[in-house]
Amino acid sequence: MSQVPLSQISASQISASQVAPPSNFRTDDDARSTRELIIAESLRCFAEAGYNGTSLNDIAAGVGIRRPSLLHHFASKEALYGEVFERLLADWLERLEVAVADQALGWAKVELVLNAGFRLFEDTPDYVRMMRREALDGGTHLGIDLAAVLRPLFDAASAYFDAQMDAGVFKRHNSRHLLITGYGAILTYFSDAAFIDGLIDDEALTKEHIAEHRDHVLSFFKSALID
Amino acid sequence: MSQVPLSQISASQISASQVAPPSNFRTDDDARSTRELIIAESLRCFAEAGYNGTSLNDIAAGVGIRRPSLLHHFASKEALYGEVFERLLADWLERLEVAVADQALGWAKVELVLNAGFRLFEDTPDYVRMMRREALDGGTHLGIDLAAVLRPLFDAASAYFDAQMDAGVFKRHNSRHLLITGYGAILTYFSDAAFIDGLIDDEALTKEHIAEHRDHVLSFFKSALID
DNA sequence: CGCACTACCTACTGGTCGGTAGGTATTCTG
DNA sequence: CAGAATACCTACCGACCAGTAGGTAGTGCG
């Protein structure tokens, strides 16, 4: 690092203007909060416009600081994106594992997990869109291999369905394809909300409409799995 | 212009300019084909990396020409994107309407349309990813309002399901939510193929695996709609 | 031949990108 | 109170972006 050629340092750089003393200084308490503000705004922007469609200036402006100040808190754009994404994964895994760990069996457990998913997505719609973009790009945008992280959950769910089908609790389906179908059915409603708004008369992502869609997905899956 | 010091013009430069006479000249027949090549490569790039992630240089390089030559065929990047997208829509609507116009009734018609969708998506996976990105961005990236174009088809399909449910052919579900669920279940398999590859042992988007998923979706929906 | 036309090129413009250098207030700490 | 640390700033960099200017081969037609 820092082996910048001396030739790049010009005299004009030294004569920086002292005209604008912004005075928007932050205390230590606020410092943590600035970091959080940046992460929150980044999530919003990355979900809305994607990685390439979001500039550090956009994020900085949303927070109310300049780009270099943002880069004081995060080493690079990729590092910032990575931190937002890691937080996404951690939040999701934590909340999903609570539902997965539940001792319920049969349809009750499926309903439990689906409900947890809906609640989770309802709380974090920006996460959903960001995840969708990540899946579209192959899930390997950064160091994290999204599929590899979710694979254990996926395998466990698949085994659960297979066991319940063997036991005759559920009608027979291909469990892995069933999971892919389910994940697509649920995620799409949240990721494509802006598009779906144009297909229906109500507005998607309102509390009422989410509940409507959740009820539909639950009854639809129940209808396909239970006699 | 051309105020380059004579001293900088080396013999190698002069020879270089004559060593590479591009010679990739195209006749009138090829001219149309260059346009097609550009559209094909654009589709590939826009599907792979999105609008913001694709530069005109990327596309031009894929075709084997320079960016200004590309802009000789299309007025701007947006115009190019628009033409690719319009072609997408036209292709889809044409092929879907054949299936929709069929006189089949009950489950046979659903199977017909689903099969047409699968065949369509299998033939044009790049279209699917581009569409997905468009839906993520709200479907109003350019002048075209994606949802408005599809709305008539959506309404007709919804009315069909309602009628069949009223007649007792299908079990009762909310038809509009059913369509959203269905579109998500099918589209996701194609749009997120790279991610799904990491969740399963087989490779998605092979002929065999697509058939497997189609069979699953058909039997799953049949299971949910028919007693 | 002369002239318009097409398809391509190199070389450039203005602007934006991510990132860096270096400075300045303010606060914490010894 | 001195010095380190923090959080912000302006001014800059090189790279890349979409798009333009202007030139040059080759083609078709009078």
> Rounded to an integer, what distance in angstroms lies between the CA atom of residue A133 and that of residue A138?
9
A32 and A108: one domain?
A: no
pLDDT tens figures, B106-140: 999 999 999 999 999 999 999 999 999 998 887 66
Separation in Å, CA of B96 to nearest CA in chain A: 17
How many independent structural domains does chain A possess? Answer: 2
B106 and B67: one domain?
A: no
> Rounded to an integer, what distance in angstroms lies between the CA atom of residue B216 and that of residue A10?
66
User: CA-nearest residue of chain B to A153?
Assistant: B199
* Residue A82 near residue A42 (C-beta atoms within 8 A): no
pLDDT, mean over chain A: 84
Calculate the angstrom distance between C1' of D14 and CA of B119: 48
B191 and B92: one domain?
A: yes
Choose among B134, B150, B173: nearest Cβ to A219.
B173
A48 and A127: one domain?
A: no
A82 at interface of B, judged by CB pairs closer than 8 A: no
* Lookup: nucleotide whose C1' is closest to A18 CA: C24
Residue burial B38-75, b: 16+ Cβ < 10 Å; e: rest: bbebbbbbbbbbbbebbebebbbebbebeeeebeebbe
Task: Say yes or no for a CB contact (<8 Å) between A174 and B212.
Answer: yes
Q: What is the CATH number of the domain that holds A70?
A: 1.10.10.60
* Lookup: nucleotide whose C1' is closest to A6 CA: C21
Q: What is the pLDDT of residue B30?
A: 52
Separation in Å, CA of A195 to nearest CA in chain B: 5
How is residue A52 annotated by DSSP? H
Q: With a CB-CB cutoff of 8 Å, which residues 115-134 of chain A face chain B?
A: 129, 132-134
Which structural domain, as residue segments, surrounds residue B160? Answer: 86-225
A54 and A113: one domain?
A: no
A187 and A130: one domain?
A: yes
A61 and A122: one domain?
A: no
Average pLDDT of the residues in B11-17? 30
Strand D close to A177 by CB, under 7 A = no
Task: Say yes or no for a CB contact (<8 Å) between B191 and A135.
Answer: yes
B199 domain-assigned: yes
Query: Using 50, 70 and 90 to split pLDDT, how confident is the model at B99?
Result: confident
- Give the domain-ending residue among B41, B74, B107: B74
Choose among A136, A217, A220: nearest Cβ to B132.
A136
Strand D nucleotides, any atom under 7 Å from protein beta carbons: they are 6-14, 16-22, 26-28
B124 and B210: one domain?
A: yes
Strand D close to A172 by CB, under 7 A = no
Q: Give the percent of chain B with pLDDT over 90.
A: 65
B154 domain-assigned: yes
B113 and B200: one domain?
A: yes
A136 and A179: one domain?
A: yes
- Give the domain-ending residue among B51, B74, B97: B74
A159 has pLDDT over 90? yes
A215 domain-assigned: yes
pLDDT tens figures, A17-47: 222 233 333 344 454 588 999 999 999 999 9
Q: With a CB-CB cutoff of 8 Å, which residues 14-53 of chain A face chain B?
A: 49-50, 52-53
B221 at interface of A, judged by CB pairs closer than 8 A: yes
B1 domain-assigned: no
* Angle, CA of A161, B189 and A43, to the nearest 5°: 95
Put residue A139 in one of left, alpha, beta given phi > 0 → left and psi -120 to 50 → alpha: left
A80 domain-assigned: no
Q: What is the pLDDT of residue A140?
A: 67
Q: What is the pLDDT of residue A32?
A: 57
User: CA-nearest residue of chain B to A184?
Assistant: B185
B119 and B213: one domain?
A: yes
Longest CA span, chain A: 80
B8 domain-assigned: no
Protein residue nearest nucleotide C26, by CA to C1': A25
A38 domain-assigned: yes
* Chain B positions in Cβ-Cβ contact with residue A201 (cut-off 8 Å): none
A139 and A208: one domain?
A: yes
Average pLDDT of the residues in A133-149? 81
Q: What is the CATH number of the domain that holds A155?
A: 1.10.357.10
Query: Using 50, 70 and 90 to split pLDDT, how confident is the model at A202?
Result: confident
- Give the domain-ending residue among B31, B49, B74: B74
B196 domain-assigned: yes
